[in-house]
Amino acid sequence: MAQSKDAGSRIYELRTYTTLPGRLPALNKRFADYTIRLFARHGIKSETYWIPTDDARKDNTLIYVLSHDSQEAADKNWKEFQADPEWIKAREASEADGKILAKPPERVFMKMTDYSPGK
């Protein structure tokens, strides 16, 4: 991953979503159709997304990494994203058949180490 000259202040955010039984496809669809595009609109950079392969989590877990210019930018980006009328409408539509998440997302904010490859 190529790093900019501002890589030292860039903040990465590891997020883990656990869905209710049978609801991972709805979450994946929401991300593919709306969320990633809306993240970009609000300065949230999608780095990568994963589905675990182990039996316990392969059908109910989405893990992904986002990045922001700084911690302050992350706070601002999330506030604006969550208030976006298109996001609110997309979230409500995706939950018309029922809630998707079993619990609130797990979040970890991180900064890159000096010895990270590509830095």
58 domain residue, yes or no: yes
CA dist., res. 100 & res. 28, Å (int): 10
Task: CATH number of the domain at 88, please.
Answer: 3.30.70.100
CA dist., res. 63 & res. 31, Å (int): 12
Length of the chain, in residues? 119
117 domain residue, yes or no: no
73 Cβ neighbours under 8 A, 6+ residues apart = 11, 43
Total-model pTM: 0.89
Domain range enclosing 67: 11-111
7 contacts 112 by C-beta, under 8 angstroms = yes
80 domain residue, yes or no: yes
74 domain residue, yes or no: yes
Domain count, the chain: 1
pLDDT tens, position by position, 49-101: 999 999 999 999 999 999 999 999 999 999 999 999 999 999 999 999 999 99
Enter the DSSP assignment of 34: I
